[in-house]
Amino acid sequence: MTSEQTRYLVNGEKTDSISVTDRGLQFGDGVFETIRIHQGKPVWWQQHINRLLDGCHRLRFADLPDVDTLQQEVTALASDCVAGVLKIIITRGYSNSGYVAPVNTPANRILSLTPGIRHQSRAGQGIVMGVCSQRLAGHDSLSGIKHLNRLEQVLARIQCQAEGWDEGIMLDDQGTVIEGSMSNLFVWREDHLFTPSLQKTGIKGLCRKIIISLAEENGITLEKTKLRLEDLTNSSGIFVTNSLIGIWPVINFNQQQLTVCANTRLLQESLEGSICSAD
């Protein structure tokens, strides 16, 4: 795949349009996954699909996406893509009945594939990170679901852009550190690694889960715990992660210079090996 143009499939058809009655457009009534493509294949496919289906179940979708159909459509889009970004959106379908969910309306599938992975140089160079003023609300029933209501993250990214940050930390209403605007967070204290526990809000990213396993494999002590801003200020290193960016080391947090420790580089190498070997 050499063209820079994004490809789309909507319910299996080559189009970038959908009806204005779609409930994802009207109410944010849907879920999504953003997946890295490596050598024509979706990285960590089964884990992404499991989370997508779990989100549909928790949102009480009557019609669940067929995994075989999704697999076929992803193959049609991505088989000739060396590196790219695949996004899958599942909405509850079409409706003109307000908030009331239709009973027999099939879900809508929206797939897009964009070639290339942006900002890969930041994995080596490191990033600048600040603290976003937008807080994350706690929603026990929605916690961990990658649903289409992302206004908190949109407002946080607007601030990041205005401030010139690559990423911004988001807190909950109690001032607890939760995650980045588009990433999960890890903090070093000497050779010990810490990450927010994410019990009431935030996304337990797939890359976060894999890094936790890689830390164990490499003999690194890791703890999921409650973090405050002072824990970041007093840390010996910070990095953020998601399925697309891998690991981005933080070299400047809140105007404080940080170094990139050897164990961060070790985890970067281990993660890249996991990406290259993923089915």
Amino acid, res. 182:
M
Kindly state whether residues 200 and 265 are assigned to the same domain: yes
Domain edge (last residue) among 91, 115, 139: 115
Residue 101 belongs to some domain of the structure? yes
Domain edge (last residue) among 68, 87, 115: 115
Kindly state whether residues 244 and 267 are assigned to the same domain: yes
Q: pLDDT tens track of the chain, all 279 residues?
A: 444 689 999 999 999 999 999 999 999 999 999 999 999 999 999 999 999 999 999 999 999 999 999 999 999 999 999 999 999 999 999 998 889 988 888 999 999 999 988 777 899 999 999 999 999 987 778 888 999 999 999 999 999 999 999 999 999 999 999 999 999 999 999 999 999 999 889 999 999 999 999 999 999 999 999 999 999 999 999 999 999 999 999 999 999 999 999 999 999 999 998 887 765
**Residue 131 sits in a domain of what CATH number?**
3.20.10.10
Amino acid, res. 78:
A
The catalytic residue among 91, 179, 201, 264 is 179
Amino acid, res. 124:
G
**Residue 13 sits in a domain of what CATH number?**
3.30.470.10
The catalytic residue among 34, 41, 87, 114 is 34
What's the confidence (pLDDT) of residue 279?
A: 57
Kindly state whether residues 153 and 264 are assigned to the same domain: yes
Kindly state whether residues 127 and 107 are assigned to the same domain: no
The catalytic residue among 33, 91, 146, 264 is 146
Kindly state whether residues 134 and 102 are assigned to the same domain: no
Kindly state whether residues 83 and 199 are assigned to the same domain: no
Residue 2 belongs to some domain of the structure? no
Residue 236 belongs to some domain of the structure? yes
Kindly state whether residues 107 and 131 are assigned to the same domain: no
Kindly state whether residues 98 and 146 are assigned to the same domain: no
What's the confidence (pLDDT) of residue 129?
A: 98
Residue 103 belongs to some domain of the structure? yes
Q: How many domains does the chain have?
A: 2
User: Is residue 179 among the annotated active site residues?
Assistant: yes
What's the confidence (pLDDT) of residue 4?
A: 65
Domain edge (last residue) among 115, 130, 159: 115
Kindly state whether residues 83 and 187 are assigned to the same domain: no
Q: Residue 226's domain spans which residues?
A: 122-277
Kindly state whether residues 188 and 207 are assigned to the same domain: yes
What's the confidence (pLDDT) of residue 2?
A: 43
Kindly state whether residues 103 and 76 are assigned to the same domain: yes
User: Is residue 146 among the annotated active site residues?
Assistant: yes
Query: Is the separation of the CB atoms in 217 and 186 below 8 Å?
Result: no
- Rounded to 10 deg, the angle between the 45-58 and 206-217 helix axes is 130
Kindly state whether residues 214 and 230 are assigned to the same domain: yes
Residue 38 belongs to some domain of the structure? yes
**Calpha distance 257→225 (Å, rounded):** 24
* Total number of residues shown for the chain: 279
What's the confidence (pLDDT) of residue 259?
A: 94
Residue 53 belongs to some domain of the structure? yes
Residue 1 belongs to some domain of the structure? no
